[in-house]
Amino acid sequence: MKLPDKYEARMEALLKEEYQAYIESFNKDRYYGIRINTLKIQPDVFKKITKLKIKEIPWAYNGFYYDKDQQPAKHPYYFAGLYYVQEPSAMTPANFLPIEEGDKVLDLCAAPGGKSTELGAKLNGTGLLISNDISHTRAKALLKNIELSGITNSIITSEPSENLLNHFPEYFDKILVDAPCSGEGMFRKDPNMIKSWENQGVEYYSAIQKDIIIQAGKMLKPNGLMLYSTCTFSPEENEEIIEHLLKEYPEFTIEKLPMVEGFDIGKPEWVDGSEELKKCVRLWPHKIQGEGHFLALLKKQGNSNGIEKEGYKYSAKKKEYIELEEFINENLSIELDYNRIEVIQEKVYYLPKDMPNVKGLRLLRTGWYLGEIKKKRFEPSQAFAMGLTSSEAKSTINFSINQDEVLRYLKGETLQVESSKGWKLVCVDDYPLGWGKINNNVLKNKYYSGWRWM
């Protein structure tokens, strides 16, 4: 791999005697990982049911390496949302941000959702997750991953950080800023990053990151925690950004992060910064089995309770959702708080508890999209299926992983299945994949066409 001369010279000047080991890491293979979605399955249970050859990642209790000749994204368990395919080092930011159930969490730069899906799993259906990305196109991929993971308490926005700040000053308990960066830590994984580094380098991103971290800081409640991460090495995008926050905002302190074997500390000497920066963490491809990353956990000191935002005015009217209620009574054993239902142009959503007022924001999703009312009938959505467990459905079609019907279902085929008439939650080994409707032992396939197995 040919790295830009300018880049090599910078890295040599920074790394000195370590530089050779760093450069040699480019001759080795990159590492591949999956992260288990604990909303759906625990890692020890997954280990028992999977045929993938996997090995624990030391810094992520739910992360596993897999061999590169395997294709985990081409497996029905992936379609059931049991795991997310993620570069191993990229598992650190969401794993190291201590989320507690009930927290209000912001993932500011969230697409395509590698970290949001873990934050949502840690919330375990409680609190609120706002996942945002300035890019509308990338936010659509985020939406898919949130839905596939079965996260039901999230709001997906597509806004620049300053707009979010206008809505949410001192509102969040936890914030993840996985900042846009020059991507130096991903050169081995994705050589296309080199071109983009040459086009928009370190200084371009450093200026953006300085704005973003200050805006994020203002959205954090006193006593809240914010994790800043990048997948790049340049001090201008890492220690310098943290130093900038501490100068502008002396209420912030750097908190210690777990140090796993091979992790390196922050480098104050690279930015003429305070010794505190040593509490930041650096991941290097020549020291660990993963790509490059930078992490800093920041606490905002203070003792107010933050600024409570005006709550959302739930306005559910029974006549709007009567078909949904009928569908649930007939097919499911779940209890919904019907006050939280919202119907917009026949589309039915289950809004998060403690939903904030989001008027004026560009929204891709508010809460759990349950389905559509079509001709006085409720038609459940793919996202509804993904947020359920098999035991919550009164009637399922449960295929075992070895049955060829699983792939045929995921490809959208109509299947012959002996079963009673009506809606069925179609599952693989008891994990929901989507909906089907039986009539005369024929399963009409309701798997969302945009997600089909190709």
Ligand X SMILES: C[S@@+](CC[C@H](N)C(=O)[O-])C[C@H]1O[C@@H](n2cnc3c(N)ncnc32)[C@H](O)[C@@H]1O
Residues of this chain that interact with ligand X (CB under 6 A) are 108-115, 132-135, 138, 160-161, 178, 180, 212
Q: Out of 181, 231, 280, 427, which one is annotated catalytic? A: 231
- The CB-of-134 to ligand X minimum distance in angstroms stands at 4
What is the Cα–Cα distance from 302 to 34, expressed in whole angstroms? Answer: 38
Q: Is 231 a catalytic residue?
A: yes
Nearer to ligand X, 191 or 422 (CB): 191
Query: Is 437 one of the annotated binding-site residues?
Result: no
Nearer to ligand X, 138 or 394 (CB): 138
Query: Is 113 one of the annotated binding-site residues?
Result: yes
Nearer to ligand X, 50 or 215 (CB): 215
- The CB-of-69 to ligand X minimum distance in angstroms stands at 25
Query: Is 114 one of the annotated binding-site residues?
Result: yes
Nearer to ligand X, 236 or 323 (CB): 236
Nearer to ligand X, 129 or 397 (CB): 129
Query: Is 93 one of the annotated binding-site residues?
Result: no
- The CB-of-81 to ligand X minimum distance in angstroms stands at 16
- The CB-of-138 to ligand X minimum distance in angstroms stands at 5
- The CB-of-228 to ligand X minimum distance in angstroms stands at 12
Query: Is 73 one of the annotated binding-site residues?
Result: no
Query: Is 422 one of the annotated binding-site residues?
Result: no
Q: Binding site: which residues?
A: 109-115, 133, 178
Which residues form the catalytic set?
A: 231
Q: Binding site for S-adenosyl-L-methionine: which residues?
A: 109-115, 133, 178
